[in-house]
Chain A
Amino acid sequence: MADPQTYYLNRGESLPERYGEDRLVILPRDPHNIFAYWEISPQTREALARRASEEGCPEFALCLRVYKYGWGEGEDAEGFFDLEVSGDINNWYIAVPHADRCYRVELGCKAPGRSFQSLLRSNLIRTPRDSLSDLIDEQWQLPDWKAQKLFRRISLYHLSSAEFFRRRPEAKRK
């Protein structure tokens, strides 16, 4: 039971179970496990049910399709695997085979004799390494603390993060 002040400040509310949005997010837990959570909005759910009945296959199953990439965004997936999930859960821990790889997950539906239909697409993450790197190229550099000047500028002019990052493209080209 909340004390009176907490009750007043929280106005008796607690956290919503869902936000009415479509989203699928993945987080790396360790080199071999990623955590996925998702929410399917009522609209998407309805559309899905409508399509399933139109196409005459009500027995579709929800499924997570886990794509493995090399080390970057611009590459094609090296492969994928599917995990069937029941319709009433909204999160899952996914065991992944390779450390230090990028992964993206799609939540979609599968029905017998039909191809995978994607509903939600996650962010891209990279799992940690679990061993020494095989790369032994050495490059050495003296640190350059140019960034220190930038801090003085935000404290002086109160630049926001947006103004800060607007300068990033120039920084990148150097």
Chain B
Amino acid sequence: MIPEIGVFALIMALLVAAVQATLPLAGAHWGVVSWMRIARPAAVLQGLFAWTAFGCLATSFLTGDFSVLYVAGNSHSELPAVYRFAAIWGGHEGSMLLWQCLLSAWTVGVALCSRQLPQPYVARVLSVMGMLSIGLLLFLLFLSNPFERLIPAAAQGRDLNPLLQDPGMILHPPLLYMGYVGFSVAFAFGIAALLSGELNAAWARWSRPWTLAAWSFLTLGILLGSAWAYYVLGWGGWWFWDPVENASFMPWLVGTALIHSLIVTDQRGAFRSWTVMLAIAAFSLSLLGTFLVRSGVLTSVHAFAVDPGRGLYILCFMVMVVGSSLLLFAIRAPGVGLGGWFALLSRESLLLVNNVLFSVAAMAVLIGTLYPLLLDVLNGGKISVGPPYFEAVFVPLMVPALVLMGIGPMVRWKRSAPVELRSQLRWAVGASGISALLLAWLLPRGTDATWTPLSAFGLLLAAWCVWSTLVQAAKRLSTAGTQGGSLRLRASRQPLSWWGMLLAHFGIGLFVFGVTLASGFETKRELTLSVGETVSVAGFDFRLDGVDEVPGPNYEAHRAHVQVLRDGEPFVALAPEKRRYRAQEMPLSQAAIDTGLLRDLFVALGDPVDDKTWSARIQVKPFMAWIWIGCVLMALGGLLALADRRYRVARRAPRTARAQRGDDAAARTAEAAS
């Protein structure tokens, strides 16, 4: 009964989406107000239906209804309740439903939080999002029905893949999809602007908070995926340049270019066509990612159950969506004006260089990911493109961007003379150099590793990112406004978007620092350990005290007790496990990781050699945690920036247009004065 309600809800959602996609668009075109007013209620109604369907699937999972094919394939009676819920998005059909539900959620968000936008514009935005929903709902209903019945019902489910039975499964896909799908809002805003012919600075202003939100979610989603791989996979690695990882990284790179480009368009009305192109590109890459994961064109650990029929549908959907938007762009963009003037050395130009670098980086990742496919199609043989390639290509492209990241905020809008930058640059470069040297002298005390040019350069770059951000923050806070006042007063006068930028750029510095030290100075050992034996790795002693057999809710495990000592004193006790899940008979190594600010200790069990000896992998990774801290700060910076008062200004009582312009002018002056 409940699965049938789910299908019914999806059908209703499709019908409402069809209305939502057509009437408001026509209404905006012909000026029919009643049609335009349908957009918001339609969006909300469609969201309600989609989430009803989700609720039905959730109920089927939580009650263990194995008469539903998808539930039988991904669940088990012994599966803990929280993983039964997470299993909803453990397979292809359920995760597509999650995609659709999150698209509906963003649509509802736009519908409810856009009172200050002109009605025709909102109507167009919601129509575009409705069209996307139609495509997804058709896919769900005809090719990926999560509610398909299994008759006769299975006695027992096939269980969720043990690798997915982890807290990471609960958060990573939803957050990741929130980001992926969230770029559809920026996309819809851009398309609506192109359709209406009014591609101006206002569009960029409206688009910014939505894009920042999507970007922040995507940052968190990627971060969680990476951390999950690190904590679960048992190899100590956290980024593999796997095609599916790249599929999420490309929208992130373009999204970063987009949020910076939106700043230029918002503040100076310049390069509007490029910004809208980036908005189209970001969402297109989201769709491409969906295609790559679910079509089977590339092998990946993440790939879902492969079906060329589904792949073909997604490809056609992508061609329709992206092709029509690029066609619209080709037709409408040439008519867009050039916007304000700015000099060669100005914040605008530096932001545009940033655009180019991030876009090229995204293209580099795309080329690397798709090249094996291209070569195969051209009968050029089979090659593999993996981490050695991406590291050799991506890092040099990002280095100039990171250097510019420090200089950009120091430079004025419109025109800046090099002499103005001199004192800030001197401070930043000086502080970076000195702190890098200091750290280089202090750091290797823990390990005996030596410095390589790459790690030295990385440390300098990290120091530059941090110090340049701090220096320009100090300068701005010291000269802010003519009124002076206490530091707190001056700080509170700065817009939240500036604080967000500070936090995000600072986070990047910490991230680069973590990556440099964790990669450059990690110690990896593969060895066999007997009970009672001690091995010394990077200044720590690891002693295997014993191995127990431990039952779990749906698995049997061997748990090793490893005591870590430093200078003879007990430091921490680690308990890595080797689990065997009962349902799928699959062995899984659960690593034990001690996370500290200064280094991570990593121990994973391999296979037993005999009943007293096990093979093990032991790693010591300095400053590993800073990678996560840096990424979290980046995401927080994005969220802080979107809370900026300027995006909420029009929410209050209706104001005169002149007062609004005055407000904007004042805000712009404050920005320009920095």
Our verdict on whether A and B bind, yes or no, reads no
Residues of A within 8 A of B (CB): none
